[in-house]
Amino acid sequence: MTARASKAGGKSKSAQRIRKGSQKKAASAKPTSNPLLKPWRTPFGIAPFDKIEARHFVPALQRAFAEHRAEVRTIASNPARPTFANTILALEKSGVLLDRIGHVFSNLEAADSTDALAEIARQMSPRFADHESAILLDRKLFKRIDDLYQRRETLKLDAEALRLVERTHLAFVRAGAALGAAEKKRVAAINQRLASLVTQFMQNVLKDEQSWHMVLDGEADLAGLPDGFRASAAREAQERGLAGRHVITLARSSVEGFLTFSARRDLREQAFNAWIRRGANGGATDNRGILLEIVALRQEYAALLGYETYSAFALADTMAKTPDAVDGLLGEVWKHAVGKAGEERDALAAAAKAEGSNAPIAAWDWRYYAEKVRKARFDLDEAALRPYLQLDNVIAAAFDCASRLFGLKFKPAADVPRYHADVRAWEVTNRRGEHVGLFLGDYFARSSKRSGAWMSSFRGQHKIGKGSRPIIINVMNFAKGAEGEPTLLSFDDARTLFHEFGHGLHGLLSDVTYPSLWGTSVSRDFVELPSQLYEHWLSRAEVLERFALHYKTGKPIPAKLLSRLKAARNFNQGFATVEFTASALADMQLYSKADVPGDLDRFEAEVLGQIGMPSEIVMRHRLPHFMHIVGGYASAYYSYMWSEVMDADAFAAFEEAGDIFDRKTADRLKRFIYSAGNMRDPEEAYIAFRGRAPEIDGLLRNRGFASAK
């Protein structure tokens, strides 16, 4: 997924917009001991993490707020007639200090949080909301923007500048700028409350993850676990002062690995229940009431703007446009997935019975018996793949594909300051040796990091003034290998790395003029196209034969194993599609009703009952810990599947060319997708690349379902 950013009424915070402008303002201010307010004379202008302490953020942010307010006030009160330069461009140039500091803080609070940072987040999130509301609801400022919008066809702007005028005007309208005074006041209050609630929701999930672990003591507890997984669990135990034992955590790579391999059904049940109960354990970290209030506030917000539901509001500015369009896609996929999952369940039950178990398949059994069926059916098991999927080699494979497709080179940047010892850095250059950006990788799970995987940025790209080159980060939660041993990944882990790196390329390759249009600043149901498309290269023999090397022998993955991997590509896709689609349908139902549910558990159960959710499968994200839909993916979790319709079709363009690294196809892909940011409508962008619109058939074939035709 992309960087987690709290949303208020569907718009991103000003502090989440990544810009780099001149640092002269900070340099010309009076001397300060606060490193956040000094010029950053560091390699590539990255934050001096070794000098930054939690105590520096509040005073720095307060100054940044004041500076930005003054800049906006000057723009809004300009007596001259509005022009693109004195209004739209001036806004693009404003808020440099706030963006710079805000992105350092938001990235640290997500990837390496402390109690102090968490408290600052609770304190400052409503301040960010207030600050943005004051700008987006400013009557004088909107009058200038609206004047330009009404005259936009007479301003003799190029296509990109015209797009910026239209997108800026739309952002202000969707923020409530055209409302009356009383409605604006209520919108501002909603935004402030939402900011606090979203922050609390995210922190509660992290606390629940931090507070649970399972200690495995002795061989009986370790039954079924492969050596590599045991080594990672032993390392986790040692870091917790439990040398000689093994620890399972709620990091996805830990808990899902345990559910896949552990022969102890009782322990699998314990781990699974802890995993799905995050945010729903009662007490201070329970998110059920928080989510219901978030939904109620967003519904009220949408109503103020004239929409029947929040889903209608959220989808109006997407490729899908309407809830009906989303429901049509999800419904078509669901009917295929449920039938496939039923066949899979029967196969698992047969495998369990063959082992002497007469217990019906439960949710904590699915991964365990699926692995056994896969091994029996395809002679392929996860433990056999892991030795060939070293983290360093998978990173190298992702880099190599980017080099062959787009001409990028990645050089280790050892002198770059980092916020944690595990973070790695590379300078990225193009075919001409020119600097493209800085790429950071933070790959290992730790208690200070939110679960999941995401791409984020410390700085974005633009061409205003001296311009700005991006600083991109991928954050993941892989279980680190034992001391002195490489980190070995599951194939799903490797796919996640390629996915997030696809987002990273979307940021690194950005080539736009204006900050608001850069990189991943696109529709939610388009932003997953570059990431999901990039996953396709991982599974190709051309890539695996070079980089899937045994960590002990150095020998490439055997052809037979590659053949089995290809044959098993669609294995268990019924399960995977059901758990995802159920979450997407629940998200849509939650935000598509004018009346907010009174009880979240009952609502979730009713939705799952209505769609016929198999009892053996649980939603990939249950509502009390569904961070996507309280953040930037509210009423938008479907977008992964919407983008999959495009990514399946887009990769076919390379296959049709007869070369998965075809230069002409890659150049079109770079020009219209990876480098284009939000310079054009996403549907137009896709058609410009592919020559036509995509169809759902590619998605269905990709998942091993029957064609829709």
**pLDDT tens-digit readout, 526-585:** 999 999 999 999 999 999 999 999 999 999 999 999 999 999 999 999 999 999 999 999
What are the CA-CA distances from residue 697 to residues 333, 343, 636 (Å)?
Answer: 10, 21, 22
**pLDDT tens-digit readout, 369-388:** 999 999 999 999 888 899 99
**pLDDT tens-digit readout, 449-501:** 998 999 999 999 999 999 999 999 999 999 999 888 999 999 999 999 999 99
- CA pair distance 437, 406, nearest whole angstrom: 14
Q: Is the pLDDT of residue 10 over 80?
A: no
**pLDDT tens-digit readout, 501-525:** 999 999 999 999 999 999 999 999 9
412 three-class SS: strand
Kindly report the number of other CB atoms within 10 A of residue 287's CB atom.
27
Tell me the mean pLDDT in the region 380-403.
95
Q: Is the pLDDT of residue 12 over 50?
A: no
Report the run of H or E that residue 574 belongs to, with start and end.
helix 573-591
CATH class of 7-204: mainly alpha
Tell me the mean pLDDT in the region 118-145.
97
**Predicted local distance difference test score (pLDDT) of residue 3:** 36
What is the DSSP annotation of 359-384? SPP-TTTHHHHHHHHHHHHHS--HHH
**Predicted local distance difference test score (pLDDT) of residue 11:** 35
Tell me the mean pLDDT in the region 687-709.
81
- CA pair distance 274, 265, nearest whole angstrom: 14
Work out the angle at residue 151's Cα, subtended by the Cα atoms of residues 147 and 154, and round it to the nearest 5 degrees.
Answer: 150
Q: Is the pLDDT of residue 14 over 50?
A: no
**Topology adopted by domain 387-545:** Neurolysin; domain 3 (1.10.1370)
- CA pair distance 342, 457, nearest whole angstrom: 42
Task: Give start and end residues of each alpha helix (H) in 636-693.
Answer: 639-657, 663-669, 682-690
List CB contacts of 241: < 8 A, sequence separation 6 or more: none
- CA pair distance 262, 269, nearest whole angstrom: 10
C-alpha closest to that of 441 among 497, 518, 403, 505: 497
Catalytic member of 500, 528, 579, 644: 500
- Whether the model pTM is above 0.85: yes
Residue 595 phi/psi, 5° resolution? -95, 125
324 three-class SS: helix
Q: Is 500 a catalytic residue?
A: yes
According to CATH, where is 1.10.1370.40 located in the chain?
Answer: 7-204, 387-545
612 φ/ψ sector (left φ>0, alpha ψ -120 to 50, else beta) = left
- CA pair distance 564, 561, nearest whole angstrom: 5
**Predicted local distance difference test score (pLDDT) of residue 698:** 79
Cα 321 off chain centre by: 21
706 three-class SS: coil
Residue 594: pLDDT band by 50, 70, 90 thresholds?
Answer: confident
Average pLDDT, the chain: 93
